[in-house]
Amino acid sequence: MLESALIALVAGLILQPLGVHVLRARRILDVPNARSSHGTPTVRGGGVAVVAALVLGALLAGAADSRDGQVVLVALVLCAAVGAAEDLHGVPVLRGLALLLLATAPLAALVPGPAAERIVAGGFAVLFGLAVVNATNFMDGINGISAAEGVVGGVTYAVLGHMAGLGAVAVVGAATASAFLSFAPDNVPLARAFLGDSGSYGLGAVLAGLAMVLVVHGVPPEAVLAPIAIYVADTGTTLLRRWRSGQPWHRPHRTHVYQRLTDLGLSYSAVSGLVLVFGTLSAVLGAASFNGAALRVPADLALAALVAGYLALPHLLATRADAVSDQHRSHGAIARVRWGR
């Protein structure tokens, strides 16, 4: 586990500057628009180096010796390849979804059991993978947020894999954490490069794959879902809200919780830090499910409250800002009255 983490970290720190240089030379840039969170053209596609470092660390540490490890890495590479195609050339939305469906199809092989059950369960596995891949892509909108999720998810799954005796999960999880940590210097606090779809799709694929392996081998579901709960909740509620208001789900927008927080004046680093803190707390509460029913139920309730609290942050901060503004206006009015007297 430590071997894969070290290899991925060193490889990422070496590959990332080279990748940024090549992408900049080829003018692979993310040009800002009205709904972007950045103001200047920035290199897009840094996720290629991150995924390469992750795969290298996992392979050299023996992840491919396990069938589960092989499946997760194949899905990771395929999803990252679809993302790289979008970064380099652009892919229409529906065609991109179809390609991602094919790229996540290998995850169906993680499901055990009789053939009839595997068809149904495998279908759910692929849909779950597709949902997580798209969630990580939708959430990759400000500096540091995906690096934070990669570190939290990778470390959590590495620990869960170690506790469950699943060596491949521990190795790939550790490589994931280190590979995304190696991207942070180029993305936080100022972005010299963005992950692009290659990195966000790759992140979603590896997290979904590791989550499925853990659940299949009997790890409590809340422990497995906790590290991705914030991402899934933010994306799910945003899509539901847009669907209910009749807005196209695939159009660019600024209605995610993390986007609304930046619109309220919080810096990108502050919001990414909040996601890191909430994600870490979620993972800790989820891991409490290993300790039996005495802690499991209270921890699950606390986890649900934590996610709800994250979703409510924009409303709470906006209400507080309005109250402060009203207070200032009230004081100003009193001062004018007194001055008039």
Q: What is the pLDDT along the chain (341 residues), one digit of tens a residue?
A: 889 999 999 999 999 999 888 888 888 877 765 555 555 778 888 899 999 999 999 999 999 899 999 999 999 999 999 999 999 888 888 899 999 999 999 999 999 877 777 888 999 999 999 999 999 999 998 999 999 999 999 999 999 999 999 999 999 999 999 999 999 998 888 878 889 999 999 999 999 999 999 999 999 999 999 999 999 999 999 999 988 888 876 677 788 999 999 999 999 999 999 999 999 999 999 998 877 677 888 999 999 999 999 999 999 998 876 666 555 555 454 444 444 43
Angle between helices 115-139 and 196-216 (to 10 degrees): 140
Look-up: residue for tokens 């993302």? 83
Q: Closest by alpha carbon to 72, among 218, 202, 231?
A: 202
User: Is 157 in contact with 178 (CB distance < 8 Å)?
Assistant: no
Residue 112 is predicted with a pLDDT of 87
- Burial of 236 (C-beta count, 10 Å sphere; 0-12/13-18/19+): middle
What is the number of other CB atoms lying within 10 angstroms of the CB of residue 64? 17
Residue 340 is predicted with a pLDDT of 46
Tell me if residue 245 falls in helix, strand or coil.
coil
Residue 341 is predicted with a pLDDT of 36
Q: What amino acid occupies position 105?
A: A
Residue 335 is predicted with a pLDDT of 43
Q: Closest by alpha carbon to 198, among 13, 19, 11, 14?
A: 19
Q: Closest by alpha carbon to 196, among 91, 288, 59, 299?
A: 91
User: Is 69 in contact with 54 (CB distance < 8 Å)?
Assistant: no
CA distance 167 to 128: 23
CA distance 258 to 274: 9
- Burial of 331 (C-beta count, 10 Å sphere; 0-12/13-18/19+): exposed
Look-up: residue for tokens 């989820």? 286
Scored b (16 or more CB within 10 A) or e, 198-216 reads: bbbbbbbbbbbbbbbbbbb
Q: What amino acid occupies position 301?
A: L
Long-range own/partner contacts, residues 254-258 (CB < 8 A, 24 or more apart): 254/35, 256/138, 256/139, 256/141, 257/310, 257/311, 257/313, 257/314, 258/139, 258/141, 258/142, 258/145, 258/234
